[in-house]
Structure 1
Amino acid sequence: MSDPDLAIVSIETTILDVPLIRPHKFATTTSEVQPILLVAITTAGGVTGHGEGVVPGGPWWGGESVETMKAIVDNYVTPYILGRGVDEITGILVDLERIVANARFAKAAVDVALHDAYARHLGVGVHILLGGAFRTGVDVRWALGAAPVEEVLDEIEEKIEARLNFAFKLKMGALDPAVDTERVVSIAEALDGRAGVSIDVNARWDRFTALRYVPELVDGGVELVEQPTPAEQIEVLAEINRLVGASVMADESVQTPHDAFRIATLGAADVLALKTTKCGGLQRSKQVVAVAKAAGLRCHGATSIEGPIGTAASVHFACSEPGIDYGTELFGPQLFAVELLQTPLDYSEGQVHLPTGLGLGVELDMDVVKHLARN
């Protein structure tokens, strides 16, 4: 650190509970609010960068929660990096690996806050720190809950007519597999190719259930099958990938560069769900994408239902990384019933567009943040 203004003088963490526009159903839980850990890193020069610690629906997904992330950041990260420079991103992240194992969602919040603060100090957007943007927006797939067929179709039509989304994902794994499969096939048939349909089982089917129902789903019009079987059973995922003609996407199975290498080696998936949250931030995400590109795999810009800070970070990443070449589902803020930004992210023409301001390019409405802060 050559500039004393870059020194980190404070790290503040705040838990927010953000209401959703409708319940969002995962395989094992349903969310009506999205908890977010907001991390604010402030420098001696008076610049503040923000990051988010967000998991999809709670600790069921990867073992972390906003409460565990807050404890990690407050008690282990903060004492170690106070006084260091926000330009020491690589060094800080390397050192954190020696202090805290795993905890990638918590580390991602710190990683993004460092990028935001450093880019603001330099007077540039975060995408500049990542090599520069080569596009100004990315396609966004919308995720649907486990509502009845007619309600789902109405929601899809509203999104298409508003030109917000042209591809859709259906959550599975919570209902009886036969009933759930019939529901999804009915939706795909009703759309008749007017919009892309994918499914996400959140790793909740066993091998026998997946082998029975995934081919039926693909025959019924599903174009992408996301993580039907448990994360550690990569050999089973490879078996399914060989069985069906549609693309198979790994999500829970890939969180590290080595995970990506193993999936590529076994031919377990065609697409990787790249969440900047589960990978541990922007720097680690670049490593995962590099492995995917070397192996000829595509990457999908996936979501943990981030708020606008985490979403903006993922948009900067996707717009600067050609390896994100299978679209995204960075719809998180669209699912929120409350706007956290002074100026909302731009969702239009089926895309979310790159913010153009300094750092992440977005500014929080601090009155709303204070209102939603957990006491």
Structure 2
Amino acid sequence: MSDKDLKIVSVETTILDVPLIRPHKFATTTADAQPILLVAVTTAGGVTGYGEGVVPGGPWWGGESVETMKAIVDRYIAPYITGRGVDDITGIMVDLERIVANARFAKAAVDVALHDAWARSLGVPVHTLLGGAFRTGVDVRWALGAAPLEEIVEEVTHKMEQRLNFAFKLKMGALDPVVDTERVVKVVEAFDGKVGFSIDVNARWDRFTALRHVPQLVDGGVELIEQPTPADQLDVLAEINRRVAAPVMADESVQTPHDAYEVATRGAADVIALKTTKCGGLQRSKQVVAVVKAAGLRCHGATSIEGPIGTAASVHFACAEPGIDYGSELFGPQLFAVELLQRPLEYSDGRVHLPQGPGLGVELDMDVVKRLTRD
């Protein structure tokens, strides 16, 4: 293989709309389908690598959408990186910072596609480019919908009986806080401590509301509190963290290495939700994890409801990065009503397993991709 074989000859983007098995509720919106920007990077040697541009539920979370990502990649990123080598990931991603500010979800899609193409060109898995895998899978926490108590109990019981998941997350923030808190405590009490539950408020409560209800949730048995208050109010998050015994996890508050530094120095969280999407890809994720590890905090492998490409990338990252030491919620493909891969990712024994083979170790079913492509 010569350097010429590694030259990027095309960068193509496709928007997919993938239906979900049930509506997935966030604090401010509900998704019935997950839009995905599929980015394909092809080399002169005929190798194609894929990445996903995915945001959780639309632009409400971080200001990006599949439509904005497509415009950024097509107009500003693709022309700039065409002709460069897929092995020049560090240089490309550094240079992109001078061309496009922020847009971390779009950059993550390109970063992953470059890793996939380079690893496939070398005939090695992506985790090799990250230092090699030291484990073969990670634990997966399942996110529950906003269903009645009986349905949630049935869903949790089914997941446990199938040995798919042993820990669960409940979304909050959309209902009246009093009603929401009572609902969650009833779910937790229904399992009498036999199941681990976390909650995620998606940064929608103010200080007063959080100080009133987070202690009630912890007293009710919730084991992890995720981002109860706005992302930029780190002093408020730190106050909550000091007042409750359960660990507090920062998600919206941490998207860059500096964000991680600020959270750590203020004592605003015990755990960081690490999304390879919101951080801008695998390279930038390593920088965030390094800061978190140096501060003595833990990292949770979080999700933006990625499809199998984005999920596979996060699994490779988690299996090669010891700093992902607080489990994961890489359940995205389990929520999809349609299988995008020729061979699905493996979920069993409460874990998602590292796919084998070159690149990300997964192969898209292009017939399904074509059927789900947005006109």
TM range (shorter): over 0.9
1:114 CA displacement? 0.1
Q: Secondary structure at the match of 2:283?
A: helix
Q: Secondary structure at the match of 1:128?
A: helix
Q: 1:120 and 1:298 mapped to 2: Cα distance?
A: 31
| Aligned residue number for residue 277 of structure 1 | 277
Superposition CA RMSD, Å: 0.7
1:43 maps to 2:43: yes
1:2 CA displacement? 6.1
1:296 maps to 2:278: no
Q: 2:193 and 2:134 mapped to 1: Cα distance?
A: 30
Q: 2:170 and 2:191 mapped to 1: Cα distance?
A: 13
Q: Deviations over 1:307-351 (max 9, x none)?
A: 000000000000000000000000000000000000000000000
Q: 1:288 and 1:275 mapped to 2: Cα distance?
A: 10
1:175 maps to 2:181: no
Q: 1:32 and 1:69 mapped to 2: Cα distance?
A: 20
1:18 CA displacement? 0.1
Q: Describe how 1:125-164 pairs up with structure 2 within 5 A.
A: 125-164=125-164
| Aligned residue number for residue 234 of structure 1 | 234
| Aligned residue number for residue 93 of structure 1 | 93
Q: Secondary structure at the match of 2:327?
A: coil
Q: Secondary structure at the match of 1:325?
A: strand
1:12 maps to 2:38: no
Runs (5+) with no aligned partner, structure 1: none
Q: Secondary structure at the match of 2:328?
A: coil
| Aligned residue number for residue 266 of structure 2 | 266
* Paired-residue identity, %: 84
| Aligned residue number for residue 338 of structure 1 | 338
| Aligned residue number for residue 31 of structure 2 | 31
Q: Secondary structure at the match of 1:59?
A: coil
Q: Secondary structure at the match of 2:324?
A: coil
Q: 2:361 and 2:101 mapped to 1: Cα distance?
A: 31
| Aligned residue number for residue 371 of structure 1 | 371
Q: Deviations over 1:123-160 (max 9, x none)?
A: 00000000000000000000011111111111100100
Q: 1:232 and 1:75 mapped to 2: Cα distance?
A: 31
Aligned partner of 1:173: which letter? G
Q: 1:200 and 1:191 mapped to 2: Cα distance?
A: 19
1:213 maps to 2:189: no
1:194 CA displacement? 1.4
1:310 maps to 2:315: no
Runs (5+) with no aligned partner, structure 2: none
1:166 CA displacement? 0.1
Q: Secondary structure at the match of 2:325?
A: coil
Q: 2:291 and 2:191 mapped to 1: Cα distance?
A: 35
Q: 1:62 and 1:186 mapped to 2: Cα distance?
A: 32
Q: 2:196 and 2:132 mapped to 1: Cα distance?
A: 30
Deviation larger for 55-64 or 142-151: 142-151
| Aligned residue number for residue 247 of structure 2 | 247
Q: Deviations over 1:151-196 (max 9, x none)?
A: 1111100100000000000000000100110010011111112111
| Aligned residue number for residue 320 of structure 1 | 320
| Aligned residue number for residue 190 of structure 1 | 190
Q: Secondary structure at the match of 1:340?
A: coil
The size of the alignment, in residue pairs, is 375
Q: 2:22 and 2:363 mapped to 1: Cα distance?
A: 25
Q: 1:147 and 1:307 mapped to 2: Cα distance?
A: 23
Q: 1:361 and 1:195 mapped to 2: Cα distance?
A: 32
1:203 maps to 2:188: no
Q: Secondary structure at the match of 1:109?
A: helix
Q: 1:278 and 1:255 mapped to 2: Cα distance?
A: 6
| Aligned residue number for residue 62 of structure 1 | 62
Q: 1:213 and 1:146 mapped to 2: Cα distance?
A: 18
Q: 2:211 and 2:323 mapped to 1: Cα distance?
A: 30
Q: Secondary structure at the match of 1:116?
A: helix
1:349 maps to 2:321: no
Q: Deviations over 1:80-113 (max 9, x none)?
A: 0000000000000000000000000000000000
| Aligned residue number for residue 360 of structure 2 | 360
1:120 CA displacement? 0.2
Aligned partner of 1:140: which letter? V
Q: Secondary structure at the match of 1:327?
A: strand
Q: 2:153 and 2:255 mapped to 1: Cα distance?
A: 33
1:37 CA displacement? 0.1
Q: 1:362 and 1:65 mapped to 2: Cα distance?
A: 25
